[in-house]
Structure 1
Amino acid sequence: MPMTTLPSPSLRRGAVALAGAVLLLGPVASARAQAPSDWPNRPVRLVVPLPPGGPSDIVLRGALEKMQPVLRQPLVLENKPGANGNLGSAEVARAAPDGHTWLWTTDTTVTVNPFVYRTMAFKVDDLVPVIRASTLSQILVCHPALGLRTLADFVQRAKAGKASYASGGSGSPGHLTTELFSSAAGIEMSHVPYKGPAPAMQDVMGGQVDCGFLAGSTVLPQVRAGKLTALAVSGAKRSALLPEVPTIAESGYPGFEASFSLVLFAPRGTPQPTVDQMQAAMADALRKPDLVEKLRANDLEVIAATQAQTAARLDADAKKWGALVKKIGLRQD
């Protein structure tokens, strides 16, 4: 079990009705000012139900370094992958709601998994959303030898029945993005799922699979090195790191948008003052200019949303992806 400890230097239910636009850089109250005097009083665990590395670790490690002086206790990151995030999430859902165990995961854990898995060891309502920290889009990349240069080229190949695509697994952001686009474009492709985006990228580079919608932080170095060709961005706007690559909406599919979020959750029943402090501590950390720039360099955008905004976004995304999952008949035991 990979574990990193940072050394110490000395739902939703009440929130949904307050939905609003996501707050990017607005002020929040000082985390210390909201802190209950007895929290935290021992190391704080942040369970990540995903493999080490990738966007989740990049954002969380950067934030924890800056949260440490505020919380004044060791912050322990524990990667516990399995069942597309369900195993680690279930552990947090069962944890004591005392503010010393938290869940850090992609939004798909609660917006997609409940529609995909027939049985889960936890309920979405067992977890309380705390902060939507950052967002990421997927980039459609292909093996250079295919000679594809535009999204139209990709669609033409798919319509000829020759296209295959790799993803980080069934129900992963790359899988969902591809299925959403396939529906919009009226195409079908052969899906090759992997255990994470890194091995998916490796097989696209190796030519075993044609293309894949994969996270920018995963594929950008290979795009710059000419080992992958980037055709389109799934989000609402272009990547600042690949400004020459258009969005899918700009490429002939108006209104198309597929982006995903990294979200912090608490076990249901965690005291609201503790949730407030944790939200404020992470929001303050994420807004530090050097961390904003570091994340931008990895094609990750800081959001630092309030608890209410986070809950509202998760509800909207659950409706969107739930409908897609039902349409394509994606189910797992």
Structure 2
Amino acid sequence: MSIPRRALAGAALLAPLAGIARARAQAAWPTRPIRIIVPFAPGSSPDVIARLLGERLSRAAGQPVVIDNRPGATTMIGAQAVAQARPDGYTLLYTINSTVSINPFLFSRMPYRVEDLAPITRVLSVPFVLIVPATAPVRCARDLIELARARAGGLNVGSSGIGTSAHIVMARFLNEAGVTATHVTFRQGPLNDIMAGRIDAAFEPSTTAIPQVEAGAVRALAVSGPRRLQVMPNVPTVADTIAGFAGESWQGLFAPRGTAPEVIATLSRLTRGIVETEEFRGRLQELGLVPEGGTPEEFQTFIAEESPIWARVIRDNGITLDGG
């Protein structure tokens, strides 16, 4: 069947116009409210930071930003919602490292794929603080390692659950120190039991550890990140004792796979602009958090480099949540 020459000419004229229309639509983003799904309950650390970020993103983008809490299933409920959302830049995910760097190695099946989530910006890092009871006879990470070696597995270490970042960071610490310990989980976290002297040590997120360290309720031996914390300059890093050690959580912003590169770039530019302000950085540092930033490409590279490290720790220690 032949196509009239006039129809072909009309199609040729319309094609560039359609491309212009699409470009204008992308350039106009955003034209309506933006929803950020947070896979944690209101009041949690990621929720608090997502709201701080959302307020500033709303002003920068000129549109309302709504925080939508979807807690549960080790962040998988919220991650699945974003992975299945329309890739139009109006549904985003603000989450932690577990979603893309740990969950894939804890579960044989997940309701989303890591590649379904497009990195935008790594907003911050969450160092862990290695803490012990205030009355403990240890003063540094080296002392704790020697105590663990002397007790031959009798040291009790705690976390808020199997497969949590704090659990896996502790597993890496014990592995690299060449010692063993008994892992004890606490639904509400191990902090109260550390303060009461019922367990020997834990890696606690900086946001909750620092107030108790400052109050003298627990003793800080070291921080898990590559740098000392601004609010605790006298506390060394674990790497000062175990060369090359690093074990932080982080929080970052993602979009559904297939979101237009122009929209990703705009979101990243706006988010990085917020992270780079002295006001926002100061708020994070007061909480013991470390501002990060960076481009989508840098974020993607970071995830690709850290994921095999956690995969090895999980595999070597037989950590799994399948069937749990």
TM-score by length of 2: 0.86
Aligned to 2:319: 330
Asked if 1:254 is matched to 2:237, the reply is: no
Q: Which of the pair has the greater relative contact order for Cα pairs under 8 Å at 6+ separation?
A: 1
1:65 deviation in Å? 2.0
Aligned to 2:231: 241
Aligned to 1:144: 134
Aligned to 2:171: 179
3-state SS of the aligned residue for 2:293?
coil
Moved more, 50-59 or 179-188: 50-59
Q: In 2, Cα distance between the equivalents of 1:174 and 1:58?
A: 20
Q: In 2, Cα distance between the equivalents of 1:332 and 1:76?
A: 32
User: 1:292 aligned to 265, 268, 281, which one?
Assistant: 281
Q: In 1, Cα distance between the equivalents of 2:48 and 2:182?
A: 31
Do the aligned residues in 2 keep the contact of 1:155 with 1:185 (CA within 8 Å)? yes
Q: In 1, Cα distance between the equivalents of 2:110 and 2:292?
A: 29
Asked if 1:165 is matched to 2:157, the reply is: yes
Letter in 2 for 1:186: G
Q: In 2, Cα distance between the equivalents of 1:114 and 1:95?
A: 20
Aligned to 2:71: 81
Q: In 1, Cα distance between the equivalents of 2:190 and 2:33?
A: 35
Aligned to 2:308: 319
Q: In 2, Cα distance between the equivalents of 1:173 and 1:54?
A: 15
Aligned to 1:10: none
3-state SS of the aligned residue for 1:303?
strand
Q: 1:206 to 1:52 in 2, by over 3 A?
A: farther
Q: In 2, Cα distance between the equivalents of 1:102 and 1:162?
A: 45
* Offset from partner CA, 1:238-291 (integer Å, 9 cap, x none): 11111111111212x111122232111111111111111111111111111111
Asked if 1:229 is matched to 2:233, the reply is: no
Aligned to 1:8: none
Do the aligned residues in 2 keep the contact of 1:36 with 1:273 (CA within 8 Å)? yes
3-state SS of the aligned residue for 1:238?
coil
* Offset from partner CA, 1:2-36 (integer Å, 9 cap, x none): xxxxxxxxxxxxxxxxxxxxxxxxxxxxxxxx994
Letter in 2 for 1:118: S
Q: In 1, Cα distance between the equivalents of 2:232 and 2:126?
A: 14
Q: In 1, Cα distance between the equivalents of 2:63 and 2:72?
A: 28
Q: Which has the higher helix share?
A: 2
TM-score by length of 1: 0.84
* Offset from partner CA, 1:193-240 (integer Å, 9 cap, x none): 344xx6332232233332210111111001000111101111111111
User: 1:48 aligned to 24, 27, 38, which one?
Assistant: 38
Letter in 2 for 1:260: S
Gaps of 5+ in 2: 1-23
* Offset from partner CA, 1:117-155 (integer Å, 9 cap, x none): 121111111111111111121110111132321112212
Do the aligned residues in 1 keep the contact of 2:38 with 2:50 (CA within 8 Å)? no
3-state SS of the aligned residue for 2:321?
coil
Do the aligned residues in 2 keep the contact of 1:35 with 1:273 (CA within 8 Å)? no
Do the aligned residues in 2 keep the contact of 1:150 with 1:231 (CA within 8 Å)? yes
Q: In 1, Cα distance between the equivalents of 2:189 and 2:311?
A: 26
Aligned to 1:27: none
3-state SS of the aligned residue for 1:78?
strand
Asked if 1:108 is matched to 2:98, the reply is: yes
1:54 deviation in Å? 4.4
Q: In 2, Cα distance between the equivalents of 1:210 and 1:194?
A: 14
Max Rg structure: 2
Number of residues of Structure 1 aligned to a counterpart in Structure 2: 297
Gaps of 5+ in 1: 1-33
Q: In 2, Cα distance between the equivalents of 1:202 and 1:137?
A: 19
Q: In 1, Cα distance between the equivalents of 2:189 and 2:287?
A: 18
Asked if 1:309 is matched to 2:298, the reply is: yes
Do the aligned residues in 2 keep the contact of 1:54 with 1:217 (CA within 8 Å)? no
3-state SS of the aligned residue for 2:135?
helix
Q: In 1, Cα distance between the equivalents of 2:303 and 2:25?
A: 26
